Amino acid sequence: MIRISRPAVAGLMLAAGLAACKKEAPATDTTAMAKTDTTTAAAATTTTPAPSKWTAPSTVGFAWAANDGEIPIAKLAETKAGNADVKAYAKMLVADHTKMLADVKALATKQSITPDTTMDDVKDAMGHARDELKDLTDKAKGADWDKDFIGKMVDDHQKVLDKLQDAVKNTSDSTITKALTAASGKVQQHLTKAQELQAKLK
């Protein structure tokens, strides 16, 4: 039988205790590290902003399409509308959108921007203008035609205004922002006038 002295027993117990502590330590450290990694990953995910769809080419492309599509519809209304106020409104639209289109083209030239017509908003604007022009061309003149035209102008200018304002908030180029702000003001005028006419024609 092997005898172990008290000091030796105490030493063994101390060694066992230290060994137990060492075994537990890595588990705690691993958890802390996992938490740190998760926090870091979450921070990296939330701080990366999504790229804006309103690049300079897409913004110019949309403004170009919106103005270009409005002109032939307004010209049709100049000849087809029966209400004098509606005719005057159509004449204003032709003048304003012709100037706005010229301003967009000048901006594109000055900034060396090639309009992007591949964005969904641009394609939608172009297709919508074609559909409206066909619809209004096929309809007979009269009070209902005037109401339909003005109703379309309310909807169209509201949609264009919303997109222009969204583009203003997401564009960093000061020259483009200035042009968009001016265009938004003019479109707001057109929308307000159309809403006034819509109320009168009911």
**Mind listing the pLDDT tens digit for each residue in 105-127?**
999 999 999 999 899 999 999 99
* DSSP H stretches of helix in 47-113: 56-80, 84-110
Separation of alpha carbons 60 and 192, rounded Å: 24
Q: Which of 109, 122, 111 is nearest to 58 (CA)?
A: 122
Please determine, for residue 6, whether its predicted confidence score (pLDDT) is greater than 50.
Answer: no
Determine the average pLDDT of the residues in 94-112: 96
What's the pLDDT score for residue 45?
Answer: 52
DSSP 111: T
Q: How confident is the model at residue 190 (pLDDT cuts 50, 70, 90)?
A: very high
What's the pLDDT score for residue 53?
Answer: 84
- pLDDT tens-place string over residues 158-177: 999 999 999 999 988 899 99
Separation of alpha carbons 52 and 115, rounded Å: 16
